[in-house]
Structure 1
């Protein structure tokens, strides 16, 4: 986790020891699946793969073995199987995540905003649901799982906004085709210099959406133990700053990779401590989720 996501690594320190170690095991599986699918090493630059379907089959095979409690020989998958059993996390969320990797293996592209959000669910929202159950949320508490999914959506929308240039270099684009058509940007032309001002409009739109889902997610933290709520609120702020920087930088958002620096992360850790429900927090669970995309 320290190599793959410094933001999540800092937030995970706020958990109690058992929850923290379980979160590390779940993260290790997610990171390994992502690395295998995209030819990466702890994230970073995608190397491009020519055997995407074979890699996908490997992920499905090893994940299936781990979920059945069988030894795979790979620590990332064996640890994942352990935490799934200990926390009774529904298997459907793991399969949903791998279905997201299948979309990439098919060189899928979103046509609409709904398509984009469905993709965000598969690659991040499903992880939010798994994390919620890991932290003690009842798998039948769908209202809280919807909030957990919202945080995953917020994180992935921030990723899409930040990584537009890197994704384009890897032959990918997660901007809805409807959005590009609305801005009169032909397919494959969104990173051209002439399109940068129009792209900045879409970057700000993504950042605004990410903020909406981030705020919705905060209203689910009352269902979590205090330390878990602290960690989630800190992670929401830390990662949310990525989207906010995209909005602030405008046309310069893709000149260099956006990161959240250490002092800014620490600031969110301190602010989140005062937002924990039951300790002066301000995120009532009864707040409605109006006009937000909802997981299947």
Structure 2
């Protein structure tokens, strides 16, 4: 595994990837013990690389993406991922990193394919029609990553309740990110607000960033952040099943990403005039608060989220193409009558 590369080299490059790509996750991940931290960075390197390839950004890689379509780039991601999980070299260090961490933690091809299916939706120019569509997308791009992170932390494959809560945390992260990035997504020709929500608030398709609809947009985002808070509360309760340092890191991440959604709601109509982020001092405050909560314990949520990992997995499977019908002839021994 690891494409024949030394594990030390893979971890070093993974540290560089997270330092460059996500300051919020980097802060939380350094609360892990060394083994969990290294493995989480290996997984992050793969996620970051997939995201870059899907967007046509081939930073330091060997793929020729200049003239490739979005669908071709997703196909390349899937092929390299499957090679890495089969223990074959990929000539791309981030995919080799996935092969390494998968061999150590039991991350499966199905888990990885769930994440890649999210990139495939974006490549198709897909937009959510219903709330369920939105949550299925969030499952692919973040909930499934949460499940993989749980495996990185040593959560057994049969610990369904804990894996469900890990998925909840990923869903919360993505909902907050979507709320923050409404303007950026619109500029890129993307919209993750369900069409049914837009219709409910009398916003014509593609017009949600227009000034005259800003008040309605604020209400939609408040609704989205409230959903994120429900999933976050469920995830906090699930963190009780983790080791102390893992619990601390998870709660710190929940605080940091949760603050993003809260700030979007707080700034209301001004939320998209600039990109919302948390300062280093604020992150340290969230880490301190998480430390106290990791010791004292989290409150049980008053209401569990409507959208569960099981429901979203069924929706994801149902949305996949129908499998081909096998054409293998049936054995006919003892079916036809033998000639006398």
TM-score range, shorter chain: over 0.9
2:92 pairs, out of 65, 74, 78, with: 74
Secondary structure of 2:111 counterpart: helix
Alignment length (residue pairs): 288
Q: What is the TM-score with the length of structure 2 in the denominator?
A: 0.82
Q: Does 1:109 align with 2:127?
A: yes
Distance 1:217 1:90 in 2: 22
Q: Does 1:26 align with 2:43?
A: yes
Secondary structure of 1:111 counterpart: coil
Mark the CA change 1:50 to 1:176 in structure 2 (over 3 Å): closer, same or farther: farther
Secondary structure of 2:226 counterpart: helix
Distance 2:128 2:25 in 1: 27
Deviation at 1:293, TM superposition (A): 3.5
Deviation at 1:220, TM superposition (A): 0.9
Distance 1:9 1:290 in 2: 27
Taking the TM superposition and a 5 Å limit, the aligned residue runs for 1:74-93 are 74-93=92-111
Residue 306 (structure 2) aligns with: 291
Taking the TM superposition and a 5 Å limit, the aligned residue runs for 1:1-296 are 1-40=18-57, 51-276=69-294, 279-283=295-299, 289=304, 291-294=306-309, 295-296=312-313
Secondary structure of 1:175 counterpart: coil
Q: Which has the larger radius of gyration?
A: 2
- Supply the RMSD in Å over aligned alpha carbons: 1.7
| Unpaired segments ≥5 residues, structure 2 | 1-17, 60-65, 314-340
Distance 2:296 2:46 in 1: 35
Q: What is the TM-score with the length of structure 1 in the denominator?
A: 0.93
Mark the CA change 1:241 to 1:290 in structure 2 (over 3 Å): closer, same or farther: closer
Mark the CA change 1:49 to 1:194 in structure 2 (over 3 Å): closer, same or farther: farther
Distance 1:231 1:31 in 2: 20
- Check conservation: 1:222, 1:283, Cα contact below 8 A: no
Deviation at 1:90, TM superposition (A): 2.6
Mark the CA change 1:179 to 1:290 in structure 2 (over 3 Å): closer, same or farther: closer
Mark the CA change 1:289 to 1:41 in structure 2 (over 3 Å): closer, same or farther: farther
Distance 1:49 1:26 in 2: 28
- Check conservation: 1:148, 1:217, Cα contact below 8 A: yes
Distance 1:258 1:229 in 2: 26
Distance 2:137 2:242 in 1: 26
**1:69-109: per-residue Cα shift (whole Å, max 9, x none)?**
10101110001110011011232111100001010111111
**Runs ≥4 in structure 1, deviation > 6 angstroms?**
none
